[in-house]
Structure 1
Amino acid sequence: MYARVRELLTPEERLQYLQIPPDLGEWELGTYFTFTQHDLEIIQQRRRNYNRLGFAVQLCVLRYLGWTLSEIKEVPVHVLRYIAKQINADVGSFVSYGEREATKYEHLDEIRKEYGYQTFTLSEYRSLCKYLFSHAMANGNPLHLIQLALEDLRKRKIILPLMATIERAVWETRKRTEEKIFKLLNSSLTELQIAKLDRVITTMPESSKTYLAWLREIPGTSSPDSFLKVIEKLEYIRDLQLQADTKGIHPNRLRQLSKIGSRYEPHSFRRFNDPKKYAILVAYLLELIQDLTDMAFEIHDRQIMILLSKGRKAQEEIQKQNGKSINEKVVHFADLGAALIKARSEGIDPFVALDAVMPWDQIVASVEEAKRLARPVDYDYLDLLEKKFYALRKYTPTLLKS
């Protein structure tokens, strides 16, 4: 039970870390499986063909994976060929390597001394946990932490221990960071706030759903009523007056806790111990405040966009309906303008010139009709939205207040 709890990988995932990919690319081959002149001199000190190849493979496996050859089930054939070609060895001889188990350990010891590799000890375990702690405070994803652990040990030329040891180090580090985060989030909670948090996962009066389920409900359509529902939830959370100390917690870790909280049902929360239950609830509700605020503004933006769209359509409809009349007015005033220009150039009475084009009474009537047809100088359509104000009035006072 103790070991099983600390296993973070499936057998298939664990195998991925403990094997050389069959489709290993040229870059990896060139970086980890190509020997320097110094390497070749060390390798050629082996007398037998299979010992030279085995020694070379051990060196490459350590460089690439960080584990010893004993931990690796199989070396791909094309990788063996690549190594064998460099040292003029027969690929088939590799099967004979390791028949004497002591040879592999002797070679490993030589590699350790020659290339500065170190054995993983209790001291290294503690050092690894310390290294992982700061990273786990920012990101508690186990796969991310396992990858960081492997990279750190390889960089420091520490021969990797059993994968179970790496998993246990990550498990214990995550547990320590969670305890610290839970403690920070719980430290500022009062008894009244704790009571209110307990109420969040209880059933609402005259309803079969809990307050938590109600808070998670997303309004269907964008409407004033939807806005008011969002604000009602926002005010409910604000009433909890959560003043959690989040200064020592990385924002990314808070988001991870919030995602966890968004997945758990109320009955799951009831099974948690108090520090974990309240910490996850606080992280989730604090994130939900931001989400609900964003949702409220999104609904408001959509309402404004809908109104503006209606205004544009109304103006376009007016233009369609009055197109003929507007065109008549343009023709009339073009003729009148031409008459005035001619009157000035020829020095005749402008009123006589105008009367020749259109009787004065008709000119007055045309001007009045033009005023009714005219739109604002900047061709705006906000005046057409005046009757739509009642729709905004349903929720805008709440928007400004909240």
Structure 2
Amino acid sequence: MARRKILKAQDRQELFDIPADEDSLIRHYSLSAADRLEIGLRRREHNKLGFAVQLCVMRHPGRVLAAGEIPPRAMLKYVADQIGADPTVFTTYARREETRRDHIARLMICLGVRSATAQDRRAALLSAIEAAAMSDSGASIVNAIVATLRERGTLLPAAEIIERMGLAARAIARRHAEGALIEGLAPEKLQALDKLLEVDAAIGQTRFHWLRSAPEAPAASKNLVGLTERIAFLRTLGIDPGLRARVASGRWDQMVREGNATPAWLANDFNASRRHALIVAQIIKLGEKLTDDAVTMFIKLIGRLFSQAHSRKKRRHMDHRTDTSKALRLFLDTISALQSANDRSGRT
């Protein structure tokens, strides 16, 4: 089974890989006079270069150069040029494990850093849990770990260890959020939530699916009735929408997204806490969405009725226009006849 990962490839590169672009090389790997003096204490060329590269990597990204690891060519050349060494001799240094360990020990003293202890990792884990409570983003969680370790003056452990810490922190934050969301709900209410995942013979499907398959198009008033039926059913469940305030917005959004993508049969396989929290989040979200949809649909239906009434009025006006014209012409002819008769009587 493939190992679970919390970071995308690009995020992992930015955090742990040695940069090779010119700006990063200048920013992170420019050696000071003191650095060159310390490097110069090594006698052989490959040891000078190896020591210099190890120094740079321990500063940024803040880890040790792994056994057999060869830095990018651009980085090797940039460092080698500063100390007058040939970049190709680094391969000799990379094969000498004992020398590498001695250099790491010396550099830890020079740089004032140390290996991460259990206390350091615990502090980093707590920071990661706080970050995971706000966001499900793997990069945010791992950045919290890295920042804490750097603040405590420790070298970064292997990337795999940090990723495992991030996964653990995210799992803990999820459990905390799930527990907070359903805390205080009565057992009978939790049982009612579970029944939403069972097929209801009255409608031939689970209520969970029925609630999420509400009609959206205002094609007929029956669609509005369908929405109001679902809203009324949600209210019978007695879930307070204010429960969402117990969960940070980023974590809440993740719970809603997970619920949106989870069918009833899969939710049944979740542990009780996760299952109940997912259903509660869906109920609160659906209550808001269905209410908004019902109001929007009502407004559209009223607008359609007004439009239809206006059209009927306009058609009636057009239908009666011919009769009105005839009446007006008859009235005009009558006036003309009366005027002519009046003129003739005046002459006689």
- The TM-score normalised by the length of structure 2 is 0.79
Code of the aligned partner of 1:76: P
Output one character per residue of 1:288-310: Cα deviation in whole Å (capped at 9) or x when no partner.
Answer: 21222222233234445556777
Which segment drifts farther, 282-291 or 162-171?
162-171
Distance 1:114 1:87 in 2: 18
Structure 1 residues 311 and 53, CA gap change in structure 2 (3 angstroms): farther
1:238 aligned partner, one-letter code: R
1:316-364 superposed Cα distances (whole Å, 9 cap, x missing partner): 999999xxxxxxxxxxxxxxxxxxxxxxxxxxxxxxxxxxxx9xx79xx
C-alpha distance in 1 between matches for 2:294 and 2:176: 34
Other-structure match for 1:169: 165
Q: 1:90 to 1:312 in 2, by over 3 A?
A: farther
- The worse-fitting range, judged by mean Cα deviation, of 35-44 and 84-93 is 35-44
Distance of 2:313 and 2:144 partners within structure 1: 61
For 1:130, the equivalent position in structure 2 comes to 126
- Matched AA of 1:89: A
Which residue matches 2:235?
238
- Whole-Å Cα distance in 1 between the matches of residues 105 and 310 of structure 2? 81
Please state if 1:47 is matched with 2:43. Answer: yes
Please point out which of 266, 269, 285 is paired with 1:268. 266
**CA distance in 2 between partners of 1:15 and 1:251 (Å):** 26
Partner of 1:101: 97
Say if 1:187 and 1:245, in contact at 8 Å, map to a contact too. no
Residues 303/165 of structure 1: CA separation in 2 closer, same or farther (3 Å cut): same
Counterpart AA for 2:275: K
Q: CA deviation at 1:166?
A: 1.6
CA distance in 1, matches of 2:317, 2:18: 72
Q: Is the 8 A contact 2:7 2:163 kept in 1?
A: no
The structure-2 alpha-carbon separation of the partners of 1:71 and 1:239, relative to structure 1 and needing over 3 Å to count, comes to farther
Q: Deviations over 1:143-198 (max 9, x none)?
A: 43123322332344421112332233223323332332222222221233122211
Does the Cα contact within 8 Å between 1:237 and 1:289 map onto a contact in 2? Answer: yes
Structure 2 counterpart of 1:140: 136
TM-fit CA distance, 1:139: 1.7
Paired with 1:9 and 1:73, the residues of 2 have a C-alpha distance of 23
After superposition, the CA RMSD in angstroms is 3.5
Counterpart CA distance in 2 for 1:107 and 1:10 is 31
Structure 2 segments unaligned to the other structure (5+ residues):
320-331, 337-348
1:230 Cα deviation (Å)? Answer: 1.9
* Counterpart residue identity of residue 234, structure 1: I
Amino acid at match of 2:187: E
- The aligned counterpart of 2:344 is none
Paired residues of 2:121 and 2:149 also in contact (CA < 8 A): no
Matched letter for residue 88 of structure 1: G
Aligned with residue 82 of structure 1, among 70, 73, 78: 78
How many Å apart are 1:126 and its aligned residue? Answer: 0.9
* 1:315 to 1:43, Cα distance in 2 relative to 1, 3 A: farther
Q: Which residue of 1 aligns with 2:327?
A: none
CA distance in 2 between partners of 1:310 and 1:95 (Å): 83
Task: Report SS of the residue matched to 1:70.
Answer: coil
Q: Could you tell me whether the CA contact under 8 Å between 1:255 and 1:287 is conserved in 2? A: no
Q: 1:320 to 1:27 in 2, by over 3 A?
A: farther
Q: Check whether the contact 1:136–1:174 (CA below 8 A) recurs between aligned residues.
A: yes
- Summarize deviations over 1:361-401 as a string: whole Å, max 9, x none: 79xxxxxxxxxxxxxxxxxxxxxxxxxxxxxxxxxxxxxxx
Q: How many residues align?
A: 322
In structure 2, what is the equivalent of residue 327 of structure 1?
none
Identity of aligned residues (%): 25
Query: Would the alpha carbon gap of residues 56 and 314 (structure 1) be closer, same or farther in structure 2, given more than 3 Å must change?
Result: farther
Distance apart, 1:62 and its partner CA:
2.1
The answer to whether the Cα contact below 8 Å between 1:270 and 1:277 also exists between their aligned partners in 2 is: yes
The residue identity in structure 2 corresponding to 1:260 is E
Instruction: Please name the residue that 1:257 is paired with.
Output: 255
Q: Does residue 222 of structure 2 align to residue 225 of structure 1? A: yes
Q: 1:213, CA displacement in angstroms?
A: 0.9
Residue 298 (structure 1) aligned to one of 274, 296, 299: 296
Partner residue of 1:287? 285
Query: 1:124 deviation in Å?
Result: 0.7
Correspondence list, 1:301-380, <5 A: 301-303=299-301, 306=304
Task: Tell me the equivalent position of 1:278.
Answer: 276
After the TM superposition, which segments of 4 or more aligned residues of structure 1 sit over 6 Å from their partners? Answer: 10-15, 308-321
> How has the CA–CA distance of structure 1 residues 220 and 296 changed in structure 2, closer, same or farther, with 3 Å as cutoff?
closer
Name the counterpart of 1:400. none
1:178 pairs with 165, 174, 179, which one? 174
C-alpha spacing 1:236/1:9, structure 2 compared with 1 (3 Å): same
Amino acid at match of 1:8: K
Output the CA distance in 2 between the equivalents of 1:72 and 1:289: 58
Following superposition, the deviation at residue 274 of structure 1 comes to: 1.6
Q: Would the aligned equivalents of 1:184 and 1:246 in 2 still touch at CA under 8 Å?
A: no
